Protein backbone atom coordinates (compact mmCIF):
# COMPACT_ATOMS: atom_id res chain seq x y z
CA UNK A 1 0.00 0.00 0.00
CA UNK A 2 1.32 3.43 -0.98
CA UNK A 3 2.36 5.60 1.95
CA UNK A 4 0.92 9.10 2.26
CA UNK A 5 2.37 12.32 3.65
CA UNK A 6 1.24 15.83 4.53
CA UNK A 7 3.85 18.52 3.99
CA UNK A 8 2.87 21.63 5.90
CA UNK A 9 4.49 24.70 4.40
CA UNK A 10 5.03 25.54 0.73
CA UNK A 11 8.21 27.58 0.86
CA UNK A 12 11.39 26.32 -0.77
CA UNK A 13 12.04 23.80 2.02
CA UNK A 14 8.48 22.44 2.04
CA UNK A 15 8.19 22.21 -1.74
CA UNK A 16 11.58 20.48 -1.90
CA UNK A 17 10.47 17.96 0.74
CA UNK A 18 7.28 17.31 -1.21
CA UNK A 19 9.21 16.69 -4.44
CA UNK A 20 11.75 14.40 -2.78
CA UNK A 21 9.04 12.30 -1.11
CA UNK A 22 7.01 12.16 -4.31
CA UNK A 23 10.06 10.94 -6.21
CA UNK A 24 10.21 7.98 -3.80
CA UNK A 25 6.63 6.93 -4.49
CA UNK A 26 4.92 8.59 -1.52
CA UNK A 27 1.59 10.32 -2.18
CA UNK A 28 1.98 13.87 -0.92
CA UNK A 29 -0.43 16.69 -0.06
CA UNK A 30 1.27 20.10 0.24
CA UNK A 31 -0.59 22.61 2.43
CA UNK A 32 0.03 26.32 3.00
CA UNK A 33 -2.10 29.34 3.76
CA UNK A 34 -0.64 31.14 0.74
CA UNK A 35 0.39 30.13 -2.75
CA UNK A 36 3.77 28.36 -2.92
CA UNK A 37 6.76 30.63 -2.53
CA UNK A 38 4.89 33.68 -1.24
CA UNK A 39 6.24 33.87 2.31
CA UNK A 40 9.90 33.68 3.43
CA UNK A 41 11.06 32.14 0.15
CA UNK A 42 9.75 35.15 -1.76
CA UNK A 43 11.80 37.86 -0.16
CA UNK A 44 15.46 36.82 -0.11
CA UNK A 45 18.32 38.04 -2.29
CA UNK A 46 18.05 35.00 -4.58
CA UNK A 47 21.57 33.82 -3.75
CA UNK A 48 22.47 30.12 -4.01
CA UNK A 49 24.96 30.44 -1.22
CA UNK A 50 27.55 27.71 -1.64
CA UNK A 51 30.02 29.90 0.27
CA UNK A 52 27.76 30.63 3.28
CA UNK A 53 29.55 28.23 5.59
CA UNK A 54 30.07 30.39 8.69
CA UNK A 55 27.18 30.47 11.19
CA UNK A 56 25.87 33.90 12.13
CA UNK A 57 26.78 33.28 15.76
CA UNK A 58 30.44 32.55 15.19
CA UNK A 59 33.19 33.60 17.64
CA UNK A 60 33.63 37.01 15.96
CA UNK A 61 30.16 37.89 17.24
CA UNK A 62 31.60 38.63 20.67
CA UNK A 63 33.79 41.46 19.34
CA UNK A 64 30.80 43.19 17.74
CA UNK A 65 28.23 42.52 20.42
CA UNK A 66 28.38 46.06 21.85
CA UNK A 67 27.45 47.62 18.52
CA UNK A 68 24.73 45.04 17.92
CA UNK A 69 23.10 45.29 21.33
CA UNK A 70 23.28 49.07 21.16
CA UNK A 71 21.66 49.13 17.69
CA UNK A 72 24.72 50.90 16.31
CA UNK A 73 25.21 48.61 13.31
CA UNK A 74 22.94 48.40 10.25
CA UNK A 75 23.14 44.61 10.32
CA UNK A 76 20.86 44.40 13.37
CA UNK A 77 17.88 46.15 14.89
CA UNK A 78 17.15 44.68 18.32
CA UNK A 79 13.88 45.18 20.15
CA UNK A 80 14.80 44.94 23.82
CA UNK A 81 11.18 44.16 24.68
CA UNK A 82 11.40 41.14 22.42
CA UNK A 83 14.84 40.15 23.78
CA UNK A 84 13.60 40.24 27.38
CA UNK A 85 10.62 38.09 26.42
CA UNK A 86 12.99 35.17 25.71
CA UNK A 87 16.27 35.86 27.53
CA UNK A 88 17.09 32.14 27.64
CA UNK A 89 17.04 31.92 23.86
CA UNK A 90 19.35 34.91 23.43
CA UNK A 91 21.80 33.57 26.01
CA UNK A 92 21.81 30.16 24.30
CA UNK A 93 22.44 31.85 20.94
CA UNK A 94 25.46 33.65 22.39
CA UNK A 95 26.69 30.50 24.14
CA UNK A 96 26.52 28.55 20.88
CA UNK A 97 28.99 31.06 19.34
CA UNK A 98 31.88 29.83 21.48
CA UNK A 99 35.06 28.92 19.57
CA UNK A 100 34.93 25.22 20.45
CA UNK A 101 31.82 24.81 18.30
CA UNK A 102 32.97 26.72 15.22
CA UNK A 103 34.72 23.96 13.25
CA UNK A 104 31.85 21.48 13.56
CA UNK A 105 29.25 24.11 12.57
CA UNK A 106 31.29 25.22 9.56
CA UNK A 107 31.66 21.60 8.42
CA UNK A 108 27.91 21.04 8.76
CA UNK A 109 27.06 24.19 6.82
CA UNK A 110 29.55 23.40 4.08
CA UNK A 111 28.06 19.94 3.64
CA UNK A 112 24.60 21.50 3.49
CA UNK A 113 25.46 24.28 1.01
CA UNK A 114 28.09 22.66 -1.26
CA UNK A 115 25.62 21.25 -3.80
CA UNK A 116 23.19 24.20 -3.82
CA UNK A 117 23.88 25.38 -7.37
CA UNK A 118 24.03 21.85 -8.77
CA UNK A 119 20.72 20.80 -7.19
CA UNK A 120 18.90 23.97 -8.20
CA UNK A 121 20.30 23.75 -11.71
CA UNK A 122 18.81 20.26 -12.09
CA UNK A 123 15.44 21.24 -10.60
CA UNK A 124 15.19 24.38 -12.73
CA UNK A 125 15.77 22.29 -15.84
CA UNK A 126 13.02 19.87 -14.81
CA UNK A 127 10.67 22.75 -13.98
CA UNK A 128 11.43 24.64 -17.21
CA UNK A 129 12.88 27.75 -15.56
CA UNK A 130 16.60 27.41 -16.33
CA UNK A 131 16.52 30.96 -17.73
CA UNK A 132 16.18 32.27 -14.16
CA UNK A 133 19.56 30.89 -13.08
CA UNK A 134 22.70 33.04 -13.13
CA UNK A 135 26.09 31.46 -12.53
CA UNK A 136 28.01 34.71 -12.32
CA UNK A 137 29.00 34.51 -8.65
CA UNK A 138 28.47 37.10 -5.97
CA UNK A 139 30.51 40.15 -5.01
CA UNK A 140 31.29 41.35 -1.48
CA UNK A 141 32.41 44.96 -1.12
CA UNK A 142 34.07 47.05 1.58
CA UNK A 143 33.88 50.85 1.88
CA UNK A 144 37.17 51.46 3.71
CA UNK A 145 40.81 50.62 3.18
CA UNK A 146 40.49 48.13 6.04
CA UNK A 147 38.48 46.07 3.58
CA UNK A 148 41.67 44.91 1.89
CA UNK A 149 42.65 42.94 4.99
CA UNK A 150 39.10 41.66 5.46
CA UNK A 151 38.91 40.49 1.84
CA UNK A 152 42.28 38.75 2.15
CA UNK A 153 41.22 37.01 5.38
CA UNK A 154 37.98 35.76 3.83
CA UNK A 155 39.78 34.67 0.66
CA UNK A 156 42.25 32.64 2.72
CA UNK A 157 39.46 31.13 4.83
CA UNK A 158 37.46 30.08 1.77
CA UNK A 159 40.58 28.66 0.12
CA UNK A 160 41.20 26.43 3.14
CA UNK A 161 37.71 25.04 2.60
CA UNK A 162 38.13 24.49 -1.13
CA UNK A 163 36.11 27.51 -2.28
CA UNK A 164 37.73 29.76 -4.88
CA UNK A 165 37.52 33.54 -4.69
CA UNK A 166 39.24 36.54 -6.24
CA UNK A 167 40.38 39.63 -4.36
CA UNK A 168 39.61 42.85 -6.24
CA UNK A 169 40.81 46.41 -5.89
CA UNK A 170 38.85 49.45 -7.01
CA UNK A 171 39.77 48.93 -10.67
CA UNK A 172 39.00 45.21 -10.50
CA UNK A 173 35.56 45.94 -9.05
CA UNK A 174 34.83 48.36 -11.90
CA UNK A 175 35.90 45.73 -14.40
CA UNK A 176 33.35 43.15 -13.21
CA UNK A 177 30.56 45.62 -12.28
CA UNK A 178 31.10 48.81 -14.29
CA UNK A 179 27.78 50.24 -13.16
CA UNK A 180 28.88 50.58 -9.55
CA UNK A 181 30.06 53.95 -8.32
CA UNK A 182 33.79 53.78 -7.40
CA UNK A 183 33.30 54.05 -3.64
CA UNK A 184 34.60 50.59 -2.74
CA UNK A 185 38.37 50.14 -2.47
CA UNK A 186 38.19 46.38 -1.82
CA UNK A 187 36.05 43.50 -2.97
CA UNK A 188 35.85 39.71 -3.12
CA UNK A 189 34.35 37.87 -6.08
CA UNK A 190 33.12 34.33 -5.31
CA UNK A 191 32.48 32.70 -8.71
CA UNK A 192 30.90 29.44 -7.49
CA UNK A 193 27.86 31.17 -6.00
CA UNK A 194 24.73 31.19 -8.15
CA UNK A 195 21.64 33.39 -8.06
CA UNK A 196 18.15 33.72 -9.52
CA UNK A 197 16.09 36.64 -10.75
CA UNK A 198 12.93 35.75 -8.78
CA UNK A 199 13.10 33.39 -5.78
CA UNK A 200 9.32 33.34 -5.45
CA UNK A 201 8.84 32.39 -9.10
CA UNK A 202 11.42 29.60 -8.83
CA UNK A 203 9.69 28.16 -5.75
CA UNK A 204 6.32 28.38 -7.53
CA UNK A 205 7.79 26.59 -10.55
CA UNK A 206 9.01 23.73 -8.36
CA UNK A 207 5.53 23.49 -6.83
CA UNK A 208 4.00 23.41 -10.32
CA UNK A 209 6.37 20.55 -11.18
CA UNK A 210 5.17 18.71 -8.06
CA UNK A 211 1.54 19.23 -9.15
CA UNK A 212 2.25 18.11 -12.73
CA UNK A 213 3.64 14.86 -11.31
CA UNK A 214 0.40 14.19 -9.46
CA UNK A 215 0.96 16.05 -6.20
CA UNK A 216 -1.92 17.76 -4.43
CA UNK A 217 -1.64 21.40 -3.31
CA UNK A 218 -4.14 22.84 -0.82
CA UNK A 219 -4.25 26.52 0.07
CA UNK A 220 -5.41 26.52 3.69
CA UNK A 221 -4.37 27.76 7.12
CA UNK A 222 -3.20 24.90 9.33
CA UNK A 223 -4.96 25.25 12.69
CA UNK A 224 -3.68 22.15 14.46
CA UNK A 225 -1.86 18.86 14.15
CA UNK A 226 -2.57 15.66 16.08
CA UNK A 227 -1.86 11.95 15.97
CA UNK A 228 -4.94 9.82 15.33
CA UNK A 229 -4.05 6.18 15.82
CA UNK A 230 -1.23 5.38 13.41
CA UNK A 231 -1.84 8.45 11.26
CA UNK A 232 -1.37 12.22 11.47
CA UNK A 233 -4.26 14.63 11.09
CA UNK A 234 -4.00 18.31 10.17
CA UNK A 235 -6.95 20.58 10.90
CA UNK A 236 -7.19 23.45 8.42
CA UNK A 237 -9.55 26.17 7.29
CA UNK A 238 -10.42 23.95 4.34
CA UNK A 239 -11.13 20.81 6.34
CA UNK A 240 -9.15 17.97 7.86
CA UNK A 241 -6.38 16.06 6.07
CA UNK A 242 -4.89 12.74 7.20
CA UNK A 243 -1.77 10.83 6.18
CA UNK A 244 0.73 8.29 7.43
CA UNK A 245 3.40 10.97 7.81
CA UNK A 246 3.43 14.68 8.54
CA UNK A 247 6.29 17.05 7.69
CA UNK A 248 6.36 20.42 9.44
CA UNK A 249 8.13 22.88 7.16
CA UNK A 250 6.36 26.08 8.18
CA UNK A 251 9.53 28.08 8.75
CA UNK A 252 9.01 30.76 11.42
CA UNK A 253 5.49 29.45 12.18
CA UNK A 254 6.61 25.87 12.87
CA UNK A 255 6.83 26.33 16.64
CA UNK A 256 3.20 27.49 16.80
CA UNK A 257 2.10 24.10 15.48
CA UNK A 258 4.47 21.99 17.57
CA UNK A 259 4.07 23.50 21.03
CA UNK A 260 0.50 22.16 21.55
CA UNK A 261 2.09 18.72 21.04
CA UNK A 262 4.49 19.37 23.89
CA UNK A 263 7.41 19.98 21.52
CA UNK A 264 9.51 23.12 21.95
CA UNK A 265 12.06 23.38 19.12
CA UNK A 266 13.73 26.51 20.55
CA UNK A 267 12.78 28.31 17.37
CA UNK A 268 12.97 32.07 17.04
CA UNK A 269 12.49 34.51 14.20
CA UNK A 270 14.55 37.11 12.31
CA UNK A 271 12.56 39.64 10.36
CA UNK A 272 13.85 41.25 7.18
CA UNK A 273 12.75 43.69 4.49
CA UNK A 274 13.28 44.28 0.82
CA UNK A 275 12.50 47.05 -1.63
CA UNK A 276 12.76 47.20 -5.42
CA UNK A 277 14.14 50.20 -7.29
CA UNK A 278 14.53 50.85 -10.98
CA UNK A 279 18.14 50.99 -12.17
CA UNK A 280 19.09 54.14 -14.04
CA UNK A 281 18.82 53.85 -17.81
CA UNK A 282 21.77 52.08 -19.37
CA UNK A 283 22.98 50.53 -16.09
CA UNK A 284 22.68 47.11 -14.57
CA UNK A 285 24.22 44.51 -12.29
CA UNK A 286 25.46 41.08 -13.36
CA UNK A 287 25.25 39.45 -9.94
CA UNK A 288 24.12 40.08 -6.35
CA UNK A 289 26.39 42.53 -4.52
CA UNK A 290 26.79 42.65 -0.74
CA UNK A 291 27.89 45.91 0.88
CA UNK A 292 29.59 44.61 4.02
CA UNK A 293 29.81 47.89 5.93
CA UNK A 294 26.24 48.96 5.21
CA UNK A 295 24.87 45.38 5.62
CA UNK A 296 22.57 45.06 2.61
CA UNK A 297 22.35 43.03 -0.58
CA UNK A 298 21.70 44.68 -3.92
CA UNK A 299 20.46 42.00 -6.32
CA UNK A 300 19.22 42.24 -9.91
CA UNK A 301 15.69 40.87 -10.04
CA UNK A 302 12.84 40.58 -12.49
CA UNK A 303 11.12 43.49 -10.70
CA UNK A 304 14.21 45.75 -10.64
CA UNK A 305 17.14 45.98 -8.25
CA UNK A 306 16.20 44.39 -4.93
CA UNK A 307 17.64 45.99 -1.79
CA UNK A 308 17.54 43.82 1.31
CA UNK A 309 17.88 44.95 4.91
CA UNK A 310 19.78 43.62 7.89
CA UNK A 311 18.09 41.57 10.60
CA UNK A 312 15.18 43.06 12.54
CA UNK A 313 14.88 41.25 15.89
CA UNK A 314 11.41 42.46 16.73
CA UNK A 315 8.38 40.31 17.52
CA UNK A 316 7.42 38.26 14.49
CA UNK A 317 4.03 39.95 14.01
CA UNK A 318 4.94 43.46 15.20
CA UNK A 319 4.25 46.41 12.87
CA UNK A 320 6.85 47.21 10.22
CA UNK A 321 9.91 49.22 11.18
CA UNK A 322 11.47 50.67 8.03
CA UNK A 323 14.54 52.27 9.59
CA UNK A 324 16.90 49.56 8.36
CA UNK A 325 15.52 49.30 4.83
CA UNK A 326 15.46 53.10 4.54
CA UNK A 327 19.12 53.18 5.58
CA UNK A 328 19.99 50.37 3.18
CA UNK A 329 18.22 52.18 0.35
CA UNK A 330 20.19 55.36 1.01
CA UNK A 331 23.46 53.40 1.09
CA UNK A 332 22.56 51.58 -2.12
CA UNK A 333 21.94 54.91 -3.88
CA UNK A 334 25.50 55.89 -2.94
CA UNK A 335 26.79 52.70 -4.55
CA UNK A 336 24.69 52.44 -7.70
CA UNK A 337 22.53 54.77 -9.82
CA UNK A 338 18.98 53.93 -8.78
CA UNK A 339 15.71 55.58 -9.72
CA UNK A 340 12.20 55.33 -8.31
CA UNK A 341 10.87 52.69 -5.95
CA UNK A 342 8.81 49.94 -7.59
CA UNK A 343 5.90 48.49 -5.60
CA UNK A 344 5.59 48.15 -1.83
CA UNK A 345 8.26 47.46 0.75
CA UNK A 346 8.10 43.76 1.69
CA UNK A 347 8.61 42.25 5.13
CA UNK A 348 9.21 38.61 5.92
CA UNK A 349 10.54 36.37 8.67
CA UNK A 350 13.29 33.73 8.81
CA UNK A 351 13.29 30.74 11.18
CA UNK A 352 16.35 30.64 13.45
CA UNK A 353 17.67 28.10 15.93
CA UNK A 354 20.33 28.92 18.56
CA UNK A 355 23.14 27.10 16.73
CA UNK A 356 22.34 28.59 13.29
CA UNK A 357 21.70 25.11 11.85
CA UNK A 358 18.35 23.78 10.60
CA UNK A 359 16.32 21.03 12.24
CA UNK A 360 15.92 18.03 9.92
CA UNK A 361 14.62 14.69 11.16
CA UNK A 362 11.90 12.83 13.05
CA UNK A 363 10.47 14.50 16.14
CA UNK A 364 11.32 12.76 19.43
CA UNK A 365 8.48 10.65 20.90
CA UNK A 366 6.29 11.24 17.82
CA UNK A 367 6.70 8.50 15.19
CA UNK A 368 5.82 9.73 11.72
CA UNK A 369 6.19 13.41 12.56
CA UNK A 370 9.13 14.91 10.65
CA UNK A 371 10.64 18.37 11.00
CA UNK A 372 12.34 20.53 8.35
CA UNK A 373 12.81 24.15 9.36
CA UNK A 374 15.30 26.59 10.84
CA UNK A 375 17.37 27.11 7.67
CA UNK A 376 17.78 30.76 8.65
CA UNK A 377 19.30 32.86 5.83
CA UNK A 378 20.06 29.92 3.54
CA UNK A 379 16.67 28.21 3.20
CA UNK A 380 16.33 29.10 -0.46
CA UNK A 381 19.79 27.67 -1.17
CA UNK A 382 19.46 24.55 0.94
CA UNK A 383 15.82 23.62 0.40
CA UNK A 384 16.58 20.88 -2.16
CA UNK A 385 19.19 19.09 -0.05
CA UNK A 386 17.01 19.45 3.04
CA UNK A 387 14.25 17.64 1.16
CA UNK A 388 16.65 14.90 0.06
CA UNK A 389 18.00 14.38 3.59
CA UNK A 390 14.52 14.11 5.04
CA UNK A 391 13.10 11.87 2.31
CA UNK A 392 16.10 9.54 2.48
CA UNK A 393 15.68 9.09 6.24
CA UNK A 394 11.94 8.48 5.88
CA UNK A 395 12.56 5.82 3.25
CA UNK A 396 15.45 4.11 5.01
CA UNK A 397 18.08 5.31 2.53
CA UNK A 398 21.51 6.75 3.25
CA UNK A 399 21.15 10.56 3.28
CA UNK A 400 23.37 12.59 0.92
CA UNK A 401 25.20 14.09 3.91
CA UNK A 402 25.49 13.26 7.60
CA UNK A 403 22.18 14.36 9.21
CA UNK A 404 23.42 14.24 12.82
CA UNK A 405 24.24 17.97 13.15
CA UNK A 406 20.62 18.76 12.25
CA UNK A 407 18.86 16.22 14.50
CA UNK A 408 15.76 17.60 16.28
CA UNK A 409 16.81 15.96 19.55
CA UNK A 410 19.54 18.52 20.13
CA UNK A 411 16.81 20.94 21.31
CA UNK A 412 13.60 18.92 21.58
CA UNK A 413 13.68 16.55 24.57
Q: What is the pTM for the complete model shown?
A: 0.96
Phi, psi of 346 (to 5 degrees): -100, 145
Looking at residue 71, its pLDDT comes to 80
Q: Cα(323)–Cα(127) distance, rounded to whole angstroms?
A: 38
Determine contact, residues 288/139, Cβ cutoff 8 Å: yes
Looking at 179-335, list the stretches that DSSP marks H as alpha helix, in order from N- to C-terminal side: 199-212, 254-258, 323-335
Determine contact, residues 304/277, Cβ cutoff 8 Å: yes
Going through 49-121 in order, the beta strands assigned E by DSSP cover 76-78
Residue 307 Cα to chain centre, angstroms: 16
379-394 vs 102-113: helix axis angle to the nearest 10?
90
Residue 219 Cα to chain centre, angstroms: 22
In sequence order, the 6+-apart residues with CB closer than 8 A to the CB of 303 are 198, 276, 342, 343
Residue 169 exposure: Cα atoms within 13 Å on the Cβ side:
1
Rg from Cα positions in the chain: 21
pLDDT digits (tens, 9 = 90+) for 101-119: 999 999 999 999 999 999 9
pLDDT digits (tens, 9 = 90+) for 206-250: 999 999 999 999 999 999 999 999 999 999 999 999 999 999 999
Q: Residue 70: is its pLDDT beyond 80?
A: no
What pairing do the DSSP bridges indicate for beta strands 304-308 and 268-279? antiparallel
pLDDT digits (tens, 9 = 90+) for 166-215: 999 999 999 999 999 999 999 999 999 999 999 999 999 999 999 999 99
Distances (CA, A) of 241 to 110, 116, 233, 341, 396: 37, 32, 6, 42, 25
Q: Cα(261)–Cα(373) distance, rounded to whole angstroms?
A: 17
Q: Residue 31: is its pLDDT beyond 90?
A: yes
Phi, psi of 79 (to 5 degrees): -85, 115
First CA to last CA distance, the chain: 33
Q: Cα(302)–Cα(228) distance, rounded to whole angstroms?
A: 45
Q: Cα(303)–Cα(170) distance, rounded to whole angstroms?
A: 29
Q: Cα(184)–Cα(162) distance, rounded to whole angstroms?
A: 26
Domains of the chain (ranges plus CATH)? 1-52+195-266+354-413 (3.50.50.60)
What is the pLDDT confidence band of residue 354, given thresholds at 50, 70 and 90? very high
Q: SS3 of 65, please?
A: helix
Q: Cα(220)–Cα(254) distance, rounded to whole angstroms?
A: 15
- Give the whole-number percent of the chain exceeding pLDDT 90: 92
Q: Cα(93)–Cα(411) distance, rounded to whole angstroms?
A: 12
Mean pLDDT of 379-408: 98
Q: Cα(55)–Cα(109) distance, rounded to whole angstroms?
A: 8
Residues in the chain: 413
What pairing do the DSSP bridges indicate for beta strands 27-32 and 186-190? unpaired
Amino acid sequence: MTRTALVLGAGMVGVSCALALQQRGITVTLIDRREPGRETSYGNAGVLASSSIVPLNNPSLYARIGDYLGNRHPALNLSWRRAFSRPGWLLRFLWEARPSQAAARIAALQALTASSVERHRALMAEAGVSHRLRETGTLKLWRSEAGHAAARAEHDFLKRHGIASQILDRQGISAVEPGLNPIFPAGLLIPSVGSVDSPGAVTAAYAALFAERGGRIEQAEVAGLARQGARWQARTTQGTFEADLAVVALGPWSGDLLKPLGLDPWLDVERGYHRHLKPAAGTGLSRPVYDVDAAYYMAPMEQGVRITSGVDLSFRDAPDDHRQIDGATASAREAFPLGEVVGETWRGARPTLPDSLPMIGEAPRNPGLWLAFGNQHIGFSTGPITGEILAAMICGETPPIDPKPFRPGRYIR
